[in-house]
């Protein structure tokens, strides 16, 4: 890299200084960077000679310092600086695409920045933002390259998801009248799962509020939205197969389709969750004959009797019904806190479950085996719809003859529940794991039990994807098996906060989490600097 500076001195009308700079990236062939600032030549009437008027002095050229890395959330992975004015949006400038598949991304960006969307164009104009797909086979589909040079911007990636993330970076760079710095950004996420889980079963959230969160998640490059819409307190989405289970306050299917479509436009997969065989109180309220009872006839909270084929039938009806409503390739099966397993002797307390286990899996089978069989059967149901299943970590049991299917991902949330093992127990089996660590990533309304509202600062300074349980990381050798992390809002005491208070409370935790999921290195900014950046970006 070579920078050549020529000092030009003109006499007569005064002294002028200018710098002539070559491109620092090997391009430009020594041509000036930036716009020339012309100086008039002295004339005879100003005391110059006639020869001076015929031979103008060299014109100075504006010099630019090397650009600084953009300040975004999450931070970009690499930025190659250059000298130049950068780029700011100006009315009348265009967003163009090189491939029609990027039309949605182009229209969105143009609308956000007040530019003209010109569609698929081959010409080049000053001020253009061009979106393009490249043929970088094998690259992360969420990666992108953004080049700011010569008063134009080009964002390219191997897939439209990466190009979209490049537009999010550009949007943040120019927010509030800012400038996209000259140079080249090369960026990609460290983790493929960057999620937000919302419990709409215990607390009803409006469709408008959820859509606002979708827009926020998209700008932060968060790519999954989990909707936990069935629990003891409510079933919150309209159902055609079993309308009797639906709560009075709920989302219509039309509203859900609109949320799903908005999410898809931001490259966010909506991950539905119908938790079973526990947390089915809303279903049981309409079908009390399905409730699990012990030998004394006492009902077991939220639990269906998994020895009853009718329980499996109604849950499968719902899974099959909602599979088309959520076209993404992920499904959360729940599987946690089945209350039959919290008693000291499940076989004695629930002999019908023990009998069904032996009948299905042999004389030595346990209630844990029967529960694992239930999980595998539900995984079969969603797998038939091309969904990858996941389940809470306390739904996987040790020492059973029946093993959970190998492709069921572990949603690891806690070490406090019966059946919960250390994260390494799952990872050593080769399972893929998603980090929902309740120590850092659980926002439980009303702070019941030992829960406290997580702070962005604590996540930013203490949490990483390897910190799966408590505060201690798992060995780094398991890093590739940890797919990412999810920040979850749970409505245990639903009236403890309004929707607006929830949105404000999760704002910085979401930003801190995605920083750690996008860039595996230690953040360059201090917490106070990061917080100030978040406040500036809005």
The residue assigned the tokens 């307390």 is 349
Identify the H or E element spanning 185: strand 183-187
pLDDT given for residue 437 in this prediction: 98
Give the bridge partners for 270, in sequence order.
Answer: 225
Query: What are 103's two structure tokens?
Result: 């039309």
Q: Are strands 193-199 and 183-187 parallel, antiparallel or unpaired?
A: unpaired
Average pLDDT over residues 350-371: 98
- pLDDT above 60 (res 45): no
State the pLDDT at residue 420: 87
What proportion of the chain, given as a percentage, has pLDDT over 90?
87
- Residue 249 in this model has a pLDDT that exceeds 80: yes
The residue that leads in pLDDT, 10 or 119, is: 119
- Report the interhelical angle of 207-219 vs 160-173 (nearest 10°): 90
Length of the chain: 538
Q: Please, are residues 222 and 194 in contact by the beta-carbon 8 Å criterion?
A: yes
With 50 as the cut, is the pLDDT of residue 27 above it? no
Share of the chain above pLDDT 70, in %: 89
93-105: pLDDT as tens digits? 999 999 999 999 9
Q: What are phi and psi of 129, to 5 degrees?
A: -110, 120
CA Rg, the chain, in Å? 29
Span 383-400, average pLDDT: 97
Adjacent-strand bridge partners of 230: 235, 274
Higher confidence at residue 320 or residue 5?
320
What does pLDDT average to over the chain? 90
According to the model, what pLDDT value does residue 14 have?
33
Give pLDDT, residue 338.
97
pLDDT on residue 61: 55
- pLDDT tens digit sequence for 253-310: 999 999 999 999 999 999 999 999 999 999 999 999 999 999 999 999 999 999 999 9
Residue 58 pLDDT more than 70? no
Q: CA–CA separation, 93 vs 126, rounded Å?
A: 8
Q: How confident is the model at residue 419 (pLDDT cuts 50, 70, 90)?
A: confident
Q: Of 202, 148, 154, 150, which Cα lies nearest the Cα of 179?
A: 148
Assign residue 465 a region: left if phi > 0, alpha if psi is -120 to 50, beta otherwise? alpha
Residue 521 has pLDDT above 90, yes or no: yes
pLDDT of 21 higher than 70: no
Does residue 450 register a pLDDT over 90? yes
SS3 label, residue 153: strand
Whether 31 shows a pLDDT value over 70: the answer reads: no
Q: Which of 463, 535, 516 minimizes the C-alpha distance to 221?
A: 516
Q: What is the mean pLDDT of residues 175-192?
A: 98
SS3 340: helix
Residue 6: its pLDDT value, please?
33
Dihedral of alpha carbons 442, 392, 518, 134, sign: negative
pTM: 0.88
Give the pLDDT confidence score for residue 40 in this predicted structure: 37
d(CA 11, CA 525): 48
DSSP tally for the chain: helices H, then strands E: 14, 18
């Amino acid at each position: 890299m070579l920078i050549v500076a020529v000092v030009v001195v003109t006499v007569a009308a005064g002294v002028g200084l200018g710098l002539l700079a070559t491109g620092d990236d090997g391009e430009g062939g020594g041509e000036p960077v930036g716009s020339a600032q012309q100086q008039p030549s002295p004339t005879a009437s100003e005391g110059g000679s006639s020869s001076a008027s015929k031979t103008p002095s060299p014109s100075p050229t504006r010099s630019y310092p090397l650009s600084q890395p953009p300040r975004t959330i999450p931070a970009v992975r690499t930025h190659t600086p250059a000298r130049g004015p950068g780029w700011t949006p100006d009315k009348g400038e265009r967003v163009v695409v090189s491939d029609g598949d990027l039309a949605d991304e182009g229209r969105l960006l143009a609308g956000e920045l007040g530019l003209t969307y010109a569609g698929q164009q081959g010409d080049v104009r000053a001020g253009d933002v061009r979106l393009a797909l490249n043929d970088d086979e094998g690259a992360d589909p969420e990666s992108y390259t953004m080049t700011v040079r010569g008063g134009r911007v080009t964002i390219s990636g191997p897939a439209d998801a990466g190009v979209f993330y490049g537009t999010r970076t550009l949007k943040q760079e120019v927010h509030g009248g800012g400038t996209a710095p000259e140079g080249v950004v090369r960026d990609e996420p460290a983790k493929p799962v960057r999620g937000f889980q919302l419990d709409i079963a215990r607390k009803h959230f409006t469709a408008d509020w959820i859509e606002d969160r979708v827009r926020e998640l998209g700008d932060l490059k968060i790519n999954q939205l989990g909707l936990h819409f069935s629990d003891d307190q409510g079933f919150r989405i309209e159902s055609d197969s079993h309308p009797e289970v639906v709560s009075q306050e709920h989302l219509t299917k039309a509203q859900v389709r609109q949320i799903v479509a908005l999410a898809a436009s931001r490259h966010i997969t909506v991950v539905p969750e119908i938790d079973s065989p526990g947390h089915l109180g809303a279903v049981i309220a309409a079908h009390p004959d399905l409730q699990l009872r012990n030998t004394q006839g006492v009902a077991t909270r939220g639990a269906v009797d998994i020895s009853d084929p009718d329980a499996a039938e109604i849950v499968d009806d719902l899974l099959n019904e909602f599979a088309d409503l959520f076209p993404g390739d992920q499904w959360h099966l729940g599987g946690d806190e089945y209350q039959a397993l919290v008693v000291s002797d499940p076989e004695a307390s629930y002999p019908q479950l023990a009998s069904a286990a032996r009948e299905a899996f042999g004389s030595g089978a346990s209630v844990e085996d029967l529960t694992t069989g239930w999980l595998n059967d539900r995984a079969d149901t969603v797998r038939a719809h091309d969904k990858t299943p996941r389940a809470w970590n306390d739904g996987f049991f040790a020492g059973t003859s029946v093993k959970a299917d190998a492709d069921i991902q572990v949603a690891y949330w806690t070490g406090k529940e019966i059946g919960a093992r250390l994260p390494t127990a799952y990872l050593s089996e080769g399972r893929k794991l998603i980090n929902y660590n309740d120590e850092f990533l659980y926002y439980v309304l009303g702070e019941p039990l030992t829960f406290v509202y997580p702070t962005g600062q604590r996540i930013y300074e203490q949490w990483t994807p390897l910190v799966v349980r408590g505060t201690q990381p798992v060995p780094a050798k398991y890093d590739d098996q940890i797919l990412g992390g999810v920040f979850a809002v749970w409505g245990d005491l639903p009236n403890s906060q309004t929707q607006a208070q929830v949105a404000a409370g999760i704002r910085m935790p979401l930003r801190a989490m995605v920083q750690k999921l996008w860039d595996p290195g230690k953040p360059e900014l201090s917490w106070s600097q990061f917080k100030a950046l978040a406040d500036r970006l809005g």
